[in-house]
């Protein structure tokens, strides 16, 4: 039992952290806006030939805005917990936290302008190149969108914990999204079949471990496949 305790503590820590992410999305209106903008920006980046550095800066900027909003939420709740009256210091704490979100958002806008301006100017020339060279970026965006979709659905259904149980199975969604990405990138039926076999094994392990029900796992698998197909279809449509 003592050997399993550190592992259980780690799982509880991850559950608590992801529950914080779900809480902010579920109860904070601004966080919903941030997620929508993040999804739109990631979808737009599919049409552009972003370098690894540009993609890294873009993801860091998105993460900075979301993390800042989460800290803002934490500060607001902590202040409301410790005082029942309107205190000047409480207002300062909330204003400073909100100011951090504002700076992070302005930074994201500046980064978006610097990255996308020239890309939009040369969009007609870069589309074909992006199809040929940005498959790893497409896969990364697919993974991010799948994870965001899982967070959204879990927040709406409010079942299970972030890493165990609930609708849908995040592990199944990610596994089938990766298998679909492999199928779209590598035109080899054997490799594709192996990818889906691995995804099925992941889904089966969630069911066998009684972490998810059959339908929660199926829902996760369908979510992963649909998101991956949507991302790659957008890429292909943009090519034509």
Question: CA 161 → CA 2, 15, 67, 149, 156, distances in Å?
Answer: 23, 6, 21, 15, 13
What the chain holds in terms of domains, given with CATH numbers, is 1-45+47-126 (1.10.287.3610), 134-240 (no CATH)
Instruction: Dump pLDDT digits (tens) for 208-235.
Output: 877 777 888 888 888 888 888 777 766 6
pTM of the model: 0.58
Confidence category of residue 103, pLDDT binned at 50, 70, 90: very high
The closest of 155, 115, 164 to 31, measured between CA atoms, is 155
Residue that wins the pLDDT comparison between 67 and 122:
67
CA atoms of 195 and 177, how far apart (whole Å): 10
Percent of the chain with pLDDT over 90: 9
Query: Which residues are known catalytic residues?
Result: 69
Residue 44 pLDDT class (50, 70, 90 cuts): confident
């Amino acid at each position: 039992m003592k050997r399993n305790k550190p592992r259980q503590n780690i799982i509880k820590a991850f559950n608590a952290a992801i529950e914080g992410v779900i809480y902010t999305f579920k109860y904070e209106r601004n966080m919903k806006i941030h997620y929508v903008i993040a999804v739109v920006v990631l979808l737009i980046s599919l049409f552009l030939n972003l370098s690894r550095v540009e993609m890294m800066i873009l993801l860091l900027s998105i993460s900075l805005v979301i993390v800042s909003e989460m800290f803002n939420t934490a500060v607001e709740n902590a202040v409301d917990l410790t005082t029942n009256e309107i205190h000047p210091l409480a207002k300062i704490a909330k204003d400073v936290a909100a100011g951090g979100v504002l700076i992070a958002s302005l930074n994201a806008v500046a980064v978006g302008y610097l990255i996308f301006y020239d890309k939009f100017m040369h969009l007609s020339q870069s589309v074909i190149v992006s199809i040929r060279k940005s498959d790893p970026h497409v896969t990364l965006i697919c993974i991010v969108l799948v994870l965001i979709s899982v967070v959204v659905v879990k927040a709406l259904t409010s079942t299970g914990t972030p890493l165990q149980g609930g609708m849908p199975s995040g592990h199944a969604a990610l596994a089938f999204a990766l298998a679909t990405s492999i199928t779209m990138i590598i035109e080899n039926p054997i490799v594709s079949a192996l990818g889906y076999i691995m995804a099925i094994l992941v889904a089966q392990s969630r069911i066998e471990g009684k972490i998810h029900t059959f339908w929660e796992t199926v829902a996760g698998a369908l979510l992963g496949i649909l998101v991956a197909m949507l991302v790659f279809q957008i890429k292909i449509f943009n090519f034509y």
